[in-house]
Amino acid sequence: MDDSALLPALPLPDAERAGLYRAILTRRDTRSEFLPDPVPDQTLSRLLLAAHHAPSVGYMQPWSFVVIRDEKIRRRVHDAFLKAHGEAALMFPEDKRDVYRSLKLEGIMEAPINICVTCDRDRAGPAVIGRTHIRAMDLFSSVCAAQNFWLAARAEGLGVGWVSIFDNGTVQRILNIPKRIVPVAYLCVGKVKGYHPRPELEAAGWRRRLPLESLIHFEQWGELDAEPELLGHLRDVVRAANDDGDFGL
């Protein structure tokens, strides 16, 4: 490509840059805060456009989006969730089962729209640039589409909840998705009362956010202290995010 055709590699204006980071920091997995208000088609169209502009391995764009509004179909998906939810409770240690059962883990019926993001693993043929050695890259691409959708929804003031507690094959049959198409993300979407200051599982004491500095390795796995100056900046950024949610911008 002729370098003169490239778009300028400039930072976004300060307000736009801060808005992007704010969307990332305040995005929440929404479950019990949905309102029954309809989502305008114009807004949903923007969210789907954002999802469709996700990166994809070999530019294969493996995703499709099933938009579900029908109450009867959502009820069947909800029934599949309830069955799996009961099974899942027994997989946790006894001292956590009551906490698990008390958690609200989906908003299938409360949200006016459900979206199933899928992956067509054959869309670009058997040999795909970038997937030749890591087969799951197409699935990861569909996850990127779900993340784009989620962040765009936050920017629009909407809530999204990802439901993953059900048998995928059951949902596939309910939605009449062909066997070769993989359901990747089942999202509940709608207007919400508000966003929790912290993720609900963190607030409930289920798990704490891990310290970022403990997750960064330098050059090789296990080298955690090689760049003290960067680690100092990381601590400053985390502190600013915790204090006012602006990444220190």
Residue of 97, 104, 102, 98 lying closest to 165 (CA atoms)? 104
**Greatest alpha-carbon span in the chain:** 63
Q: What pLDDT digit, counting tens, does each position of 139-165 carry?
A: 999 999 999 999 999 999 999 999 999
d(CA 233, CA 228): 9
Alpha helices in 39-184 (DSSP H): 41-52, 71-89, 94-102, 137-155, 168-174
Three-state DSSP at 191 gives: strand
Q: What pLDDT digit, counting tens, does each position of 110-134 carry?
A: 999 999 999 999 999 999 999 999 9
Distance of CA 95 to the CA centre of its chain: 29
- Taking a C-beta distance cutoff of 8 angstroms, is the pair 158, 142 a contact? no
Give backbone dihedrals phi and psi of 7, rounded to 5 degrees, phi first: -75, 150
Q: What pLDDT digit, counting tens, does each position of 27-82 carry?
A: 999 998 899 999 999 999 999 999 999 999 999 999 999 999 999 999 999 999 99
- Taking a C-beta distance cutoff of 8 angstroms, is the pair 152, 51 a contact? yes
Instruction: Copy the structure tokens of residue 105.
Output: 């883990």
Q: For residue 59, what is the DSSP state? A: G
With cut-offs at 50, 70 and 90, classify the pLDDT of residue 215. Answer: very high
Give backbone dihedrals phi and psi of 9, rounded to 5 degrees, phi first: -90, 75
Q: What is the mean pLDDT of residues 196-218?
A: 92
Where b means 16+ CB within 10 Å and e means fewer, 92-103 reads eeeeeeeebeee
- Taking a C-beta distance cutoff of 8 angstroms, is the pair 68, 74 a contact? yes
Query: Which domains can be identified in the chain, with CATH numbers?
Result: 22-207 (3.40.109.10), 210-249 (no CATH)
Count the neighbouring beta carbons within 10 Å of the beta carbon of residue 209.
10
**H helices then E strands: how many in the chain?**
8, 4
Q: Report the run of H or E that residue 26 belongs to, with start and end.
A: helix 14-26
Residue of 210, 201, 200 lying closest to 96 (CA atoms)? 201
The model carries a pTM of 0.93
